Amino acid sequence: MHHASCLCGAVTFEVTGDLPCGDGCHCVNCRKSTGHFLASVDLPRNRVTITGEDNVTWYHSSKKVRRGFFKKCGATLFFDPLFQDWIGLSLGAFDGPTNTTLNLYTYTAQKGDYYELEDHIEQHLEPPVG
């Protein structure tokens, strides 16, 4: 079981079981919504319990994706592809050890010019196919 929350604690979520490896998305939308890039883990919805979801504001950044944040403290929390059965959870929101690591970078063609990517993490200019 892993526990996570927004900065002020009004929104919390829990994940049953271990976290999978995470990915870092460097697309312009993720960079602008997070202030850097989005480090997240993707989980089947049935393993995620959100408490205080009434406090989440959903911003539709495209026709297929909405992003959830708490407008009071500004925390970026959820990346929710509307037509999929999984949801992306911000790794920075987790309390305590996550016991996971990033193993994939996506949209690296759109990354900022002020930081370098770590070579040991698989890189894709766009998301990997499949």
Q: Number of residues in contact with Zn ion, rule: CB under 5 A?
A: 3
**Least CB distance to Zn ion at residue 64 (A):** 12
Site string for Zn ion, 56-75 (x = CB under 5 A): --------------------
Stretch that binds Zn ion, among 29-37, 81-89, 94-102, 110-118 (CB under 5 A): 29-37
11 touches Zn ion (CB under 5 A): no
91 touches Zn ion (CB under 5 A): no
List, as one string, the DSSP characters of the chain.
Answer: -EEEE-SSSSSEEEE-S----EEEE-SHHHHHHHSS-EEEEEEEGGGEEEESGGGEEEEESSSSEEEEEETTT--EEEEEETTSSEEEEEGGGB-S-----EEEEE-GGG--TTS---TTSEE-SSPPP-
27 touches Zn ion (CB under 5 A): yes
Nearer to Zn ion (CB atom), residue 9 or residue 128: 128
Which chain residues interact with Zn ion by CB under 5 A? 25, 27, 30
